[in-house]
Structure 1
Amino acid sequence: IIAAFAEFRRQFNRLDLLITSASNFYSTPLPLVTEEKWDDLVDTNLKGTFFTLQEAVKIMQKQSFVSRIITMTDISANLIWRNFAPYTVSKAGIQHLTKIFAKTYAPVILVNSIAPGTVTINPEKEMDSEEEMIKKIPLKRLGDPLDIIKTITFLLESDYITGQIIAVDGGRTLQ
């Protein structure tokens, strides 16, 4: 991460927007969680996000304009998914980091998070239990990548929002 940002600084003189979205996701029932699986999920999802934000703010806080950071988390950060504990813990940590960075670097950097629900990448291919998933969503459809893009655009155009976690889940977390 440090080397990547060093190269970035060498090539560019500004950083307007950073979106962090690197993530690992796989089932880890509690009895089967190993230190290796825990580290894989938490290091990629939470630790990677932290050190990426840390490097980005070194550039952003020196600029004469307001920059933006958007972290990608997951609605699971606020749900109990018993077979995904390390993943959901890492996503909850990202939400908390978002708020810490927002408070620390305001007003020169606006930091928010998007928490998608189930988003289908290939609408042509049916997902396992898609019908069951849709039953849990008040808007009666899975998310589309365009839903995330529209939320990113909204955050880029907003000058009075920081430290917020925006669920883009069709209302699923209302249940």
Structure 2
Amino acid sequence: MEIADYTAVVTGASGHIGRAVAMTLAARGMNCLCHYYRNLSAVESVVRQITAAGRRAVAVQGDLACQEDIARLFDAARDIGKVRVLINSAAIFERRPLKAFSCETVGRTLAVNLAAPMLTSRYFVQLLISEGLDFSAAASPFAKIVNLADIAALRPWAEYGAYCAAKAGLIGLTGALAKELAPAVTVNAVAPGIVTWPEPMTPQQTQSQQSRIPAGRFARAEEIAQSVAFLLDNDYITGHTLVVDGGRSI
């Protein structure tokens, strides 16, 4: 499937990976709806760079724990062009030991990290159908979904139970939707290793973490974005989780 001149919806486009994905897709000729929650200045920078490169881009704020906000993303995307790619990159990443679990805190993590990709996928498919695309007659993919999972889904971290559970669920969702939407839509996931850590690390902590990675360093956001682009380029990969962790999970 050729993605140039189509539009991508990228959630979490103000984050390190989301920004890199949006920029990578724009470099490949796509227009982008760049979703953000709080960091307006970061997403505005992305939009400026994309538009300066001659593509269309718009920033749309939304709380992905709110279904109405999710629906609004796809209403806005219609104004940019034909949407054929969905990138679920937004996530909450918080340290929270078991003793601190509550319905409110765990519920929000699961809502943003797992329920939101379910709903964005639903509205994405509804948009495709509204444009007259016939799923029953498809012989090859005409749209793509890529979910940003995490190696924590496969090798969980202590005190990040809600995050790890949500990302593991996202991998399960990826496989389920790949079967349900084939062959019209491919659905894949990328499971990155450490790119950035939300809490400050001492030099000793950084060295300790990097020593466990055969590649000897943390990933760059651009490398994760390149992995997303690889999955978009290939029409015969679906239901797959591509681990991009420098060998950390070996």
- Does TM, normalized by the shorter one, top 0.5? yes
User: What is the CA–CA distance in structure 2 between the aligned matches of 1:59 and 1:103, rounded to whole Å?
Assistant: 19
Structure 2 match to 1:6: 75
Partner of 1:16: 84
Aligned to 1:82: 158
The CA deviation string for residues 51-92 of structure 1, in whole angstroms up to 9 with x for no partner, is 111111122354376211100011101123120101100001
Number of residue pairs the alignment of both structures matches: 169
Residues 105-149 of structure 1 deviation map (CA, whole Å, 9 limit, x = unaligned): 01110110011100149xxxx844110111111111110012112
Q: Match of 2:15?
A: none
CA distance in 2 between counterparts of 1:20 and 1:101 reads 14
Q: Distance in 1 between matches of 2:234 and 2:174?
A: 17
Q: Which has the higher contact order (CA 8 A, sep 6+)?
A: 1
Matched, 1:58 2:126: yes
SS in 1 for 2:249: helix
Asked whether the equivalents of residues 142 and 185 of structure 2 are also in contact (C-alpha less than 8 Å), the reply is: yes
Q: Distance in 1 between matches of 2:188 and 2:215?
A: 24
- Is 2:154–2:168's contact at 8 Å kept on the other side of the alignment? yes
Matching residue of 2:93 = 25
Q: Which amino acid is 1:152 matched to?
A: V
Cα distance in 2 for partners of 1:8, 1:150 equals 23
CA, structure 1 residues 157+103, in 2 after alignment: closer, same or farther (shift >3 Å)? same
The 5-angstrom pairing of residues 96-135 of structure 1 reads 96-120=172-196, 127-128=201-202, 129-135=205-211
* TM-score (ref. length: structure 2): 0.64
Structure-1 residue corresponding to 2:168: 92
Corresponding letter in the other structure for 2:161: A
Equivalent-residue separation in structure 2 for 1:60 and 1:100 (angstroms): 19
Match of residue 40 from structure 1: 108
Which stretches in structure 2 are left out of the alignment for 5+ residues?
A: 1-69, 135-140
User: Structure 2 CA distance, aligned partners of 1:24 and 1:79?
Assistant: 18
Q: State which drifts further: 13-22 or 38-47.
A: 13-22
Q: CA RMSD in A?
A: 1.8
**1:12 offset after TM fit, Å?**
4.8
Distance (Å, rounded) in 2 between the aligned partners of 1:71 and 1:46: 10
Deviations for 1:142-163, whole angstroms, at most 9, x for unmatched residues?
1001211210121121111000
Aligned sequence identity (%): 33
Give 3-state SS (helix, strand or coil) of 2:75's partner. Answer: helix
Distance (Å, rounded) in 2 between the aligned partners of 1:107 and 1:76: 29
SS of residue in 2 equivalent to 1:173: coil
**1:72 matched to which residue of 2?**
148
Supply the distance in 1 between the matched residues of 2:150 and 2:221 (Cα, whole angstroms).
14
3-state SS of paired residue (1:102): helix
Alpha-carbon distance between aligned partners in 2 of 1:135 and 1:59, rounded to the nearest angstrom: 46
Segments of 5+ residues of structure 1 without an aligned counterpart are none
Structure 1 runs of 4+ aligned residues shifted over 6 Å read: none
Cα distance, 1:13–1:120 mapped onto 2, change above 3 Å:
closer
